[in-house]
Structure 1
Amino acid sequence: MKFRYSSAAVLSAISVLFGAAHAQTGTAKISDGIVKIGVLTDINGPFMDNVGKGSIVATEIAVEEFGGKVLGMPIEVVTADHQNKADIASTKTREWLDRDKVDAVTELGNSAVALAAMKIAQEKGRMSIVTGAGAQRISNEDCSPNNVHWVYDSYALANVGTKSLVKKGFKTWYYVTADYAFGHSLENDGKRFIEDAGGKVVGSSRYPFPGNDFASYIVKANESKASAVAIATAGLDLQNAIKQGREFGLGTGGQASVAMLMSIMDVHGLGLKNAGGMMFAESFYWDYDNASRQFAEKFMKKMKRMPTALQAGQYSAIRTYLKAVEQAKTDDVTEVIKAMKRMSINDAFAKNGKLRDDGKMVHDMFLVKVKTPAESRKPWDYYSIEETVPGSEAFEGLAQSKCALVKK
């Protein structure tokens, strides 16, 4: 039996074979001929405003800026809701890495979710990019050679959010704290920095989480005569505590009212009448410079609001990841992370950024103060930056790290 082939068919087959060979064995080595990014986030839960759809959009903006391709190969973004459950995150991560050939799983805005996904990514030889979770252990005792930790951690938040204020003269502190692990961590870390800077915690009240009535705790805070009152909680509890605090005069008469974890969406939800004068640590502000404003403008067109620090950090991390793939000429995780560590990272989110051996991206952090209605000049004009803290001072040093990747 004789087989006949048209010249067009032969040329087409050669072209396909050549393209596949080029993706794998030529100057560029891209697995499966595609770079696939999986955004695993909280789409419908309590953190959806800080991450969620906005983090997906931030990823898409970074991909669009690359023209949808890297090294001539297409970039694809897939998404899923982890529902803030580590078991759901684990199942989806395994499915993505085994069946769908995802190269990097990212966002992971919940520390338990992040730790679960990181472990699987390392096991499968793929990359995890944590932008939405802040537990220090992510890049400390549970660090992974396949993981990067991008936006902030609890150490930097407590450090910048307290030490700078003690130096400004706020020497005595009172804590209103959510009575669960995260709240305790915020209080304990903050207390350490306050005392290191020469200040003192004169008292604290722990409320059952979640809570609705903060009146008795706020009265105790006012009675303490502390020069600063720290609210160690997040989300709707934080907003409710601030609103009720204003009714009792919290943060007036020269007293500082400090949020241990706050975002621009919390400020937007509260309004400047309630949030004005609040101080906290922040890692991004949309109106900081031309680069941040350009990204914010793109984000605003898609989301009709300004990005949070976590969403800006997601954009930065994906942009840097794609640049590293381009420089390494491969999506192999080891080579990509090597390329990322060689970079100086300055973009819409990061100022003076550098990826360390423990996988933590250190960068400048800000102490911000929320403007009053009279101080705000335009929509979303919410922050004044009181102090810029270099990354080397904001984040814990490598000498104190428990990460096994750090050479002592």
Structure 2
Amino acid sequence: MNTLKKSTACAVAAAAMMSGYAHAEFSGDVVRIGIINDQSGGFADLSGQGAVVAANLALEDFQKLNSSIEVEIVSADHQNKADIGAQIVRKWFEVEGVDMVADGANSAVALAIQAVAREKNKLVFYAAVGTTDITGKQCSPTSFSWLHDNYNLVAAPVRNLVGQGQDTWFFIAADYAFGRNMVSESERILTEAGGKSVGSIFHPLGNSDYSSFLLQAQTSGAKVVAFANAGEQLVSSMKQWNEFGMNTGPQKAVAELMFLTDIHSMGLETAQGLTGVTAWYWDLNDETRAFAERFFARHGAMPTAPQASVYSSVFHYLKSVAAAGTDATDAVVEKVRATPVDDFYAPGATIRADSKLVHDFYLVEVKEPSEQSKPWAYYNVAKTIKAADAYPPLAESPCPLVNKVAN
């Protein structure tokens, strides 16, 4: 049903901190972390084994700073099936002593995992999960959104383009929780901005022929064709967009969710000019480039935003475990919320009441081939979207954890 991979490390002793762990309590004398994502399908490049590599880099850095806490990382492929993902995570929690799960990499799977984690009172840190329900009506006190949700991804592009007169939109979307939620969020924000949706169409998750969807988008007369899909789906969509000559037509293509590996797969000739929002980019500054070089040496590709966020969430979790002196969920959650998040991924970030990690985002545009100066340097950063502008007001959150009076 799934492949399970395991890596183990014993944290090296740091004499100055030994006494702090003299009475530490860890179930089974080990802290276990599970990385679950798509490792064989259309989202494997953007997350997959690269997320496992990132988690192990976080563990190595934790080892250098902390006393002897034994940590084990396990991983599994959920095959983009909600039932399989839930079964794996349930077994991890009930039988294999896993304390925390990270990534997710599929909204439908994530919602299934969320139900299990809530039942078992276990921690989950989501990376490549778009549905706003995770921190909305399905929020949980032990689950955290570390990367993005669909609001973060669509709000800035919709508002910017409508402000430029690109006010009619048609959506081509993946037919599962992520795609439907993204279209819903887009249409809501589009209406608020004074634009209009002229239609949407949904394709199966494993679809490869987009000709009929593109034809409907073309005949809609929309000024913008927005793709609410990702990974292999986006790559195939954009290749066919170019094959049909739509890249030279009057309509503007917008990738509402695109990853570095998507651009790498389709090539700059195909991807040039695409705009989108990302939570992180490896070529932002010296710190992001330093992590990217370490990651590339292990994985042979530059890290995506989800992979960087897995590093950050695993490292933050382990710091919180060390601060709590236990892997007991309630004690660790308290430290997760109290411990500052300030790393190369999310400098100066905060965790708000609905369990979103609040950080900056970047509006990016894919370079033309002539602009590329080095491998994997695919984006021009058009704008930094400050954290204060990237999230809806907390008072509007449907998350039951939020005290709306306090905002």
Change (3 A) 1:202 1:133: closer
Residue in 1 aligned with 2:54?
A: 58
Aligned pairs for 1:314-353 (under 5 A) are 314-353=310-349
* Distance of 2:105 and 2:21 partners within structure 1: 36
Residue in 1 aligned with 2:291?
A: 295
* Distance of 2:45 and 2:149 partners within structure 1: 19
- Matched residue count: 387
Offset, 1:399: 0.8
Residue in 1 aligned with 2:379?
A: 383
Does residue 259 of structure 1 match 2:255? yes
Deviation per CA, 1:211-244: give whole Å up to 9, x if none: 4443454355445554422122233232222112
Residue in 2 aligned with 1:7?
A: none
8 Å CA contact 1:299, 1:307 repeated in 2: yes
Change (3 A) 1:254 1:320: farther
Q: Which has the larger radius of gyration?
A: 1
Change (3 A) 1:120 1:323: same
Amino acid across the alignment from 2:263: V
Change (3 A) 1:60 1:199: same
* Distance of 2:168 and 2:28 partners within structure 1: 58
Offset, 1:76: 1.4
8 Å CA contact 1:256, 1:279 repeated in 2: no
Change (3 A) 1:181 1:321: closer
Residue in 2 aligned with 1:12?
A: none
Residue in 2 aligned with 1:356?
A: 352
8 Å CA contact 1:159, 1:190 repeated in 2: yes
Residue in 1 aligned with 2:365?
A: 369
* Distance of 1:140 and 1:47 partners within structure 2: 24
* Distance of 2:107 and 2:188 partners within structure 1: 22
* Distance of 2:272 and 2:279 partners within structure 1: 19
Amino acid across the alignment from 1:349: Y
Q: Percent identity?
A: 39
Change (3 A) 1:124 1:184: closer
* Distance of 2:262 and 2:105 partners within structure 1: 16
Deviation per CA, 1:242-296: give whole Å up to 9, x if none: 1121234434477532012111111000000000000111111100112211111
Change (3 A) 1:334 1:253: same
SS at match of 1:67: helix
Residue in 2 aligned with 1:49?
A: 45
Change (3 A) 1:35 1:180: closer
Offset, 1:205: 5.0
Residue in 2 aligned with 1:34?
A: 30
Change (3 A) 1:101 1:237: closer
Change (3 A) 1:348 1:357: same
Offset, 1:380: 0.5
Offset, 1:310: 0.8
* Distance of 2:298 and 2:252 partners within structure 1: 36
Offset, 1:72: 2.3
Deviation per CA, 1:74-108: give whole Å up to 9, x if none: 22111222222233223322322233222212222
8 Å CA contact 1:37, 1:104 repeated in 2: yes
Change (3 A) 1:150 1:215: same
SS at match of 1:129: strand
* TM, length-normalised to structure 2: 0.86
SS at match of 1:49: coil
Aligned pairs for 1:386-401 (under 5 A) are 386-401=382-397
Does residue 155 of structure 1 match 2:131? no
SS at match of 1:195: helix
Larger mean Cα displacement after TM superposition, 58-67 or 181-190:
181-190
Residue in 1 aligned with 2:69?
A: 73
Offset, 1:28: 3.2
* Distance of 1:162 and 1:344 partners within structure 2: 32
Amino acid across the alignment from 2:169: W
Offset, 1:343: 3.6
Change (3 A) 1:236 1:125: closer
Does residue 307 of structure 1 match 2:342? no
* TM, length-normalised to structure 1: 0.86
Residue in 2 aligned with 1:403?
A: 399
* Distance of 1:101 and 1:356 partners within structure 2: 28
Residue in 2 aligned with 1:83?
A: 79
| Two-structure CA RMSD over aligned residues (Å) | 2.6
Larger mean Cα displacement after TM superposition, 56-65 or 227-236:
227-236
Residue in 2 aligned with 1:145?
A: 141
Structure 1 unmatched ranges of 5 or more: 1-21
Residue in 1 aligned with 2:166?
A: 170
* Distance of 2:108 and 2:204 partners within structure 1: 21
SS at match of 2:92: helix
Aligned pairs for 1:172-251 (under 5 A) are 172-178=168-174, 182-205=178-201, 210-219=206-215, 221-222=217-218, 226-251=222-247
Change (3 A) 1:211 1:45: closer
Offset, 1:63: 0.3
Change (3 A) 1:319 1:208: closer
